[in-house]
Amino acid sequence: MRFREYLILWLGLLAGLPAAAQHLAPVAAPAASAARYWVTFRDKAGQTLQPSAYFDPAAQARRRRQHLPAADSTDFPVRPDYLARVQALTDSVTLVSRWFNAVACRATAAQAARMRLLPGVRSVETWPERPMLPAGAHQLQRPAVPPAGSPAPLSPADLVLARRQTAVLGATGFRQAGQQGQGLRIAVFDVGFRATDTHPAFAHLYRRRAIAATYDFLRRTPDVYRGGSHGTEVLSCLAGQLPDSTFLGLAPAAEFLLARTEQQGSELYAEEEAWLAAAEWADRNGADIINSSLGYTDRRYFPEQMNGRASLVARAAAIAVRKGILVVNAAGNAGDDPRWRIVGTPADADSVLTVGGLAPDTFLHLSFSSYGPAAGGRLKPNLSAFGVAITAVPGGFERVEGTSFASPLVAGFAACAWQQQRDLPVMALFARLQQAGHLYPYFDYAHGYGLPRAAAFSAAGQPAAAPDSTFDFLVADSAVSVIIRPEAAVVPAYSLPLEAVAESLDDSNAAAVGPLAPLYWQLRDASGFITRYEVLEVSQRAILRVPLRQLPAGGTLRVHYRGYTASFSAL
């Protein structure tokens, strides 16, 4: 054994001595040899917490409404003696997590070996690595570059879209009921909020001091008004306002927590750490909802890792939900990327409400919107909204594209729905939101349960009337056909869940409200996995014919048309 190996072994044994002796142990190592490690501790023995001193009153109120304890062990601080021993070995601790009882740090392999011998250390793991592909779609935002000039004035078509992006979700009904997010606190995690504090679209928020707290978790400062403007655009779809007083989102009366967790082209591990730190901060500061128009895919993970457990952010999101916070996340913009296509993380987590993008002219899946299922066949996305929207940008307003904007539109919907039933447990709300989808109980891997409807919450606790049958199955010549019923064959000017939208628009704009009602169909195997699905334009009553031999063994043909869903099972 060489002298250096003896030295490393001796230092490893020394690491087990009391903290007072450990200041002699560290050995400097070249920075280039350092890697990221996740150090998990065994316990929090001796640690306590005074909830009223640690949590914002809004957080305390949320826990009471959700029937949660005032605090639990995941809220207790990390033991300072454990933390000090790690810091004595490496001075690059980048995150201390109460939720995971862990720290993230940079260390050499030798330092990591010594940390494994420290008292109280359960495990020391390196961050999972994968070969770096060319820059992919790990971030959902558009490049954060300053605009070349002032945005062009909005066109008449843009102004129609500005009204429709909320009208299709039931803005009129929510507004008439006085539901615009009052009493809700929404955290927005993003790449930056440039110009948010000076943009007239948000003046109403600052006048009433509705920005409850801000923090940049990359630069570690309360100033979030630097970096990209993607967060400004996302916040627009929650609470932005046009000069004519049109609101661009459904929750202009909510309060907001603004967290900068991302930067364009940054080191990906730091971004996941920042997301976790922001989630703990949002919990402490009373967030009811987290909107995360961010995600990670092929620059860090393989598709099979999108299982809701592999990534730090997916696990962090799951803990946030257990603490009574609804987490709403964009599905991603990789739908037309052959290398990936599926939802990213944390959108892959079971308890995260994942939102896909719809085209405003057809109300169907946008090609770039990421598909489900998540790994293991789990249903994703959960819901959909317009993936093309009008938002505030520095200097004005602009039409933008991405599931980044569908997500806050649905988060605002959730705020209004939750305002109706403030004591509803978070996962009960999650289920109700899915049931509000205009396709429910039909589901596919492009649209989820569809566009949520405010009408589904207008009579809380009242069962919805069963929809009238709109089609029949006919078996003949070794095939099953779908035949539209005569009374349903006359298609209205607007598809069924969107008829009320016309009432909120001028007659001159009515033709732009929505498409003719399409027919959705799918094949499912015996386990419920969707093996094929399609959307058809209805041009005749005999709209679909499927040979029985194409039905999976023990599987079903499932069809949705104008609010009615039915299944056919082969014998």
Determine the pLDDT at residue 505.
Answer: 45
Looking at the DSSP bridge assignments, the partners of residue 366 are none
Predicted local confidence at residue 515, as pLDDT = 46
Q: Which of 174-188, 367-381, 503-517, 523-537 has the lowest mean pLDDT?
A: 503-517
HSE on the CB side for 569, CA within 13 Å?
Answer: 6
- Supply the angle between the helices 426-435 and 403-420 in degrees, to the nearest 10: 110
Whole-angstrom Cα distance, residue 333 to residue 567?
A: 31
Amino acid 464: pLDDT: 64
Is the predicted pLDDT of residue 133 greater than 60, yes or no? Answer: no
CA terminus-to-terminus distance, the chain: 72
CA separation for the pair 392, 240 (Å, rounded): 7
pLDDT > 90? residue 17: no
Give the pairing of strands 289-292 and 185-190: parallel
Rounded to the nearest 10°, the torsion over CA 116, 117, 118, 122 is: 50
Most confident of 33-47, 314-328, 444-458: 314-328
Whole-angstrom Cα distance, residue 289 to residue 188? Answer: 9
Q: Confidence band (pLDDT; 50, 70, 90) for 382? A: very high
Tell me the average pLDDT across 13-30: 35
Instruction: Sort residue 513 into left (φ over 0), alpha (ψ -120 to 50) or beta.
Output: alpha
Residue 376 binned pLDDT confidence (cut-offs 50, 70, 90): confident
Asked about 230 being catalytic, the answer comes back as yes
Question: Mind listing the domains of the chain with CATH numbers?
Answer: 3-43+79-126 (3.30.70), 156-455 (3.40.50.200), 471-569 (no CATH)
Structure tokens at 5: 């190996």
Q: Is residue 351 over pLDDT 60?
A: yes
Which one is predicted more confidently, 338 or 78? 78
Instruction: Determine what percent of the chain is predicted with pLDDT higher than 90.
Output: 74
Q: 186: number of CA atoms within 13 Å, CB side?
A: 37
Cβ count within 10 A of residue 367: 12
Q: 136-171 as b/e, with b when 16 or more CB fall inside 10 Å? A: bbbbbbbebeeeeeeeeebeeeebbbbbbbbbbbbb
Please report the sign of the dihedral spanned by the C-alpha atoms of residue 36, residue 102, residue 57, residue 457: positive
In tens, the pLDDT along 432-452 reads 999 999 999 999 999 999 999
pLDDT at 265: 62
Q: Is the pLDDT of residue 97 over 80?
A: yes
Instruction: Categorize the per-residue pLDDT at 266 as very low, low, confident or very high, splitting at 50, 70 and 90.
Output: low
Sequence letter at residue 47: Q
Sorting pLDDT into bands at 50, 70 and 90, what band is 461? low
d(CA 472, CA 289): 42
pLDDT at 501 over 70: no
Residue 467's pLDDT is: 82
Q: How many residues does the chain have?
A: 571
The tens digit of pLDDT for each residue in 204-239 reads 999 999 999 999 999 999 999 988 999 999 999 999
Q: Which of 230, 365, 447, 560 is catalytic?
A: 230
Q: Please count the CA atoms within 13 angstroms of the CA of 522 that sit on its side-chain side.
A: 22
Instruction: Judge whether 544 and 519 are in contact, CB under 8 Å.
Output: yes
Angstrom CA distances, 308 to 3, 316, 378, 409, 411, stand at 45, 10, 10, 23, 20
Which of the residues 229, 369, 404, 407 is marked catalytic? 404
Q: Is the pLDDT of residue 571 over 90?
A: no
Of these residues, 190, 283, 348, 444, which one is catalytic?
Answer: 190
Q: How far apart are CA 480 and CA 566, in angstroms?
A: 13
Is position 190 annotated as part of the catalytic site? yes
Distance CA(33)–CA(128), nearest Å, equals 17
With a cut of 70, say whether residue 141 has pLDDT above it. Answer: no
73 included as an active-site residue: no
More confident: 176 or 15: 176
The pTM for the full model equals 0.89
Between these two residues, 18 and 387, which has the higher pLDDT value? 387
pLDDT, mean of residues 33-52: 94
Whether the Cβ atoms of residue 387 and residue 446 lie closer than 8 Å to each other: no
- 146-150, 168-172, 217-221, 364-368: least confident range: 146-150
Residue 21's pLDDT band (boundaries 50, 70, 90)? very low
Q: What integer best gives the mean pLDDT of the chain? A: 87
**Percentage of the chain modeled with pLDDT above 70:** 84
Identify the burial level of 310 via C-beta atoms within 10 angstroms of its C-beta, where 0-12 means exposed, 13-18 middle and 19 or more buried: middle
Q: Which of 34-38, 356-360, 543-547 has the lowest mean pLDDT?
A: 34-38
For residues 179, 182, 188, 192, the Cα torsion angle rounded to the nearest 10 degrees is: 100
The whole-number pLDDT of residue 151 equals: 82
